[in-house]
């Protein structure tokens, strides 16, 4: 018997802090029988889980530090298990999606309020609302800071825009558009360039996949984008931050990132088949540096894609991203409907963002699982 979970409420809560997401995972595991049956039926995920675990295990065992590498082998089994919780554990996927959007709106209001009042609140050594004092401060809410904080909020932009397009009740429809606007403004306050690129790219994909819905509300959407354009135009530091995205020669952040990527590619070339060993990037980074390249030792490759490539090699990279492509797009080819598109674009925003960062956001694998839900039928669009 399926055990009901208050997915709408948990959607709101898990956006606020990863600690609550872990509790929600535990609650979803009460439907373990259904999850186990689903995994048994879907051999693609089982095979991907087995292959990624095997690649990681072999890579760790032959690495320079097996003891340090072996715990990171669990990354993909856990990721795919969380995906399974989204596919078969969540009982009300639409309520969960709406909850994520409401939660992102609440978190965005917290960010904007903390920024306005320049808050710096700690509980002992635990950050509550910090790094909001100065105009260039990027924010920290319960330990989620900078790009991580922006990535938590991103679901509100794409989810808000998507729900605005499909919701029939006018008041609720405008509420979702308002949440999308508030979350964009909160992301602007984090100055996260990766997040800005992510929401822009995913919005363009939404425009293509939900073209018939955009046409109906073009006036409201025009006002939405005009407000964003006006905000950028009147905010010099934000405008300069956006312009810096395209500065590949003089911007120190960009040039450092390019150098980190070059070092990462050297690691990959040296262990291209199954990687250097999961979790060893930071330990090995300095050994791949050339003299005078960087003055700082980096513990991550600043790209999720390079994180996979250096840790699990080309075999792990192709296995994971082939699985991801299958789970995100095959359900849409099989049975197109807007409720598959909504979690899809929310996920794509994240995977565009992490071209430039290596982040993990706890609701992302759940959303991947939602794309292929059997209870998303073409006739159920409200």
Written as tens digits, the pLDDT of the chain (382 aa) is 567 789 999 999 999 999 999 999 999 999 999 999 999 998 999 999 999 999 999 999 999 999 999 999 999 999 999 999 999 999 999 999 999 999 999 999 999 999 999 999 999 989 999 999 888 889 999 999 999 999 999 999 999 999 999 988 888 999 999 999 999 999 999 999 999 999 999 999 999 998 888 878 888 999 999 999 999 999 999 999 999 999 988 898 999 999 999 999 999 999 999 999 999 999 999 999 988 787 678 889 999 999 999 999 999 999 999 999 999 999 999 888 899 999 999 999 999 999 999 999 999 999 999 999 988 865 444 4
Structure tokens at 147: 């790009």
pTM of the prediction?
0.95
Whole-angstrom Cα distance, residue 19 to residue 23?
A: 7
Cα–Cα dist 26/20, whole Å: 10
Q: Give the residue from 224, 217, 154, 222 showing the smallest Cα distance to 188.
A: 154
Task: Tell me how far apart the alpha carbons of residues 192 and 197 are, in angstroms, rounded to a whole number.
Answer: 9
Q: Give pLDDT, residue 379.
A: 42
Cβ contact 98:173 at 8 Å? no
Task: State the pairing for strand pair 140-141/144-145.
Answer: antiparallel
């Amino acid at each position: 018997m399926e055990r009901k979970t208050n997915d709408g409420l948990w959607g709101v809560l898990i956006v606020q802090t990863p600690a609550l997401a872990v509790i929600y995972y535990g609650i979803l595991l009460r439907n373990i029988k259904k999850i186990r049956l689903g995994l048994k039926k879907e051999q693609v995920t089982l095979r991907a889980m087995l292959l990624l675990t095997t690649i990681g295990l072999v890579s760790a065992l032959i690495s320079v530090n097996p003891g340090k590498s072996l715990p990171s082998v669990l990354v993909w089994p856990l990721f795919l298990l969380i995906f399974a919780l989204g596919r078969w554990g969540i009982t009300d996927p639409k309520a969960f999606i709406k909850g994520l959007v409401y939660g992102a709106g609440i978190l965005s209001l917290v960010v904007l309020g903390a920024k306005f009042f320049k808050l710096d609140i700690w509980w002992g050594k635990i950050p509550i609302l910090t790094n909001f004092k100065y105009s260039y401060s990027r924010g920290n809410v319960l330990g989620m800071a900078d790009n991580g904080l922006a990535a938590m909020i991103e679901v509100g932009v794409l989810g808000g825009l998507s729900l605005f397009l499909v919701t029939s009740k006018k008041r609720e429809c405008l509420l979702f558009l308002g949440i999308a606007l508030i979350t964009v403004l909160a992301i602007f306050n984090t100055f996260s360039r990766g997040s800005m690129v992510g929401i822009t790219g995913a919005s363009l994909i939404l425009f293509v996949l939900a073209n018939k819905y955009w046409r109906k509300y073009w006036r409201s959407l025009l006002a939405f984008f005009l407000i964003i354009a006006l905000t950028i135009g009147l905010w010099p530091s934000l405008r300069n931050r956006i312009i810096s995205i395209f500065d590949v020669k003089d911007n120190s952040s960009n040039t450092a990132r390019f150098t980190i990527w070059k070092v990462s590619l050297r690691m990959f070339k040296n262990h291209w088949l199954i990687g250097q060993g999961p979790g060893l990037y930071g330990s090995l980074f300095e050994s791949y540096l050339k003299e005078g390249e960087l003055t700082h030792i980096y513990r991550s490759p600043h790209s999720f894609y390079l994180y996979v490539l250096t840790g699990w090699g080309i075999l792990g990279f192709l296995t994971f991203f082939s699985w991801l492509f299958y789970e995100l797009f095959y359900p849409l080819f099989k049975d197109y409907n807007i409720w598959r598109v909504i979690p899809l674009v929310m996920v794509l925003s994240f995977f565009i963002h992490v071209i430039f960062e290596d982040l993990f956001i706890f609701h992302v694998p759940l959303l991947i699982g939602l794309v292929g839900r059997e209870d998303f039928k073409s006739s159920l669009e409200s």
